[in-house]
Chains A and B, each alone.
Chain A
Amino acid sequence: GNSVTQMEGPVTLSEEAFLTINCTYTATGYPSLFWYVQYPGEGLQLLLKATKADDKGSNKGFEATYRKETTSFHLEKGSVQVSDSAVYFCALSPYNFNKFYFGSGTKLNVKP
């Protein structure tokens, strides 16, 4: 079946610290992988995506690389800001894009 597992939060970091949020997946076939972000009081919005193995998605300083060999799609940022405080969701969509499977979300708190 299809599922996504991501590290539990909350993750608390100081401003300018390095961020890693782990995400691993189980899927049939070759899924596309996504990171969504939910800022306080707002809806989810796409942060980045990767559609095939070894692709790197990037946006707003965040990066994630589609690793088929380890079935992972870890989210990284070299220097977090207070404005990055949000809940981050890892997700996959199977090849036919009929469904999306989301992880449980990881809350990030960045302190000044």
Chain B
Amino acid sequence: GAGVSQSPSNKVTEKGKDVELRCDPISGHTALYWYRQRLGQGLEFLIYFQGNSAPDKSGLPSDRFSAERTGESVSTLTIQRTQQEDSAVYLCASSLPPLGRSAKNIQYFGAGTRLSVL
């Protein structure tokens, strides 16, 4: 089926506003990841969902960041009271459940949401 879909593709907001980013994973992919990619830098892990297990939130940079996922479907990343330092591309990826050293442990990425905070 379709790949990982993210929306919006671009978002411009004013400092202090809240934003919500959406990720539609590949059907059947129980694992979902959010990353942040600042200009010229690598991917920074934010949060990881695996099925109905408690998410790994260890990468969230502050309590202004939160993410939700209902079951194995859509996830939303919310940034409250945005700051200029939040400007980045936010990437979502999904994969099948971890199965040891299996060829199925491949992440499929969306095209990302480019967030600009003015």
Q: A residues near B, CB below 8 A?
A: 4, 32, 36, 41-46, 49, 51-52, 89, 91, 93, 95-105
Q: Smallest Cβ distance from A38 to chain B, in angstroms?
A: 8
Q: Which residue of B lies closest to A105 (CB)?
A: B42
Residue contact A46 to B43, C-beta cutoff 8 Å: no
A98 touches B48 (CB 8 A): yes
Interface of A is mostly: loop
Interchain CB contact under 8 A, A97 and B105: yes
A89–B43 CB distance below 8 A: yes
Tell me the bound Cα distance from A46 to B45 in angstroms: 17
Query: How many residue pairs, one in A and one in B, have C-beta atoms under 8 Å apart?
Result: 56
Are A43 and B45 in touch, CB under 8 angstroms?
A: no
Given A32-B101, A43-B91, A99 and B42 touching (CB < 8 A)?
Answer: no
Q: Which of B26-57 contact A (CB under 8 A)?
A: 33, 35, 40-43, 45, 48, 50, 56
Instruction: Name which residue of chain A comes closest to B53, CB basis.
Output: A98
> Any chain A CB within 8 A of the CB of B111?
yes
Whether B105 and A32, one on each chain, are in contact in the complex, defined by CB atoms closer than 8 angstroms, is yes
Nearest residue (CB) in B for A90 is B42
Residues from chain A with a CB closer than 8 A to the CB of B100 are 97
Complex Cα distance, B41 from A23, in Å, reads 15
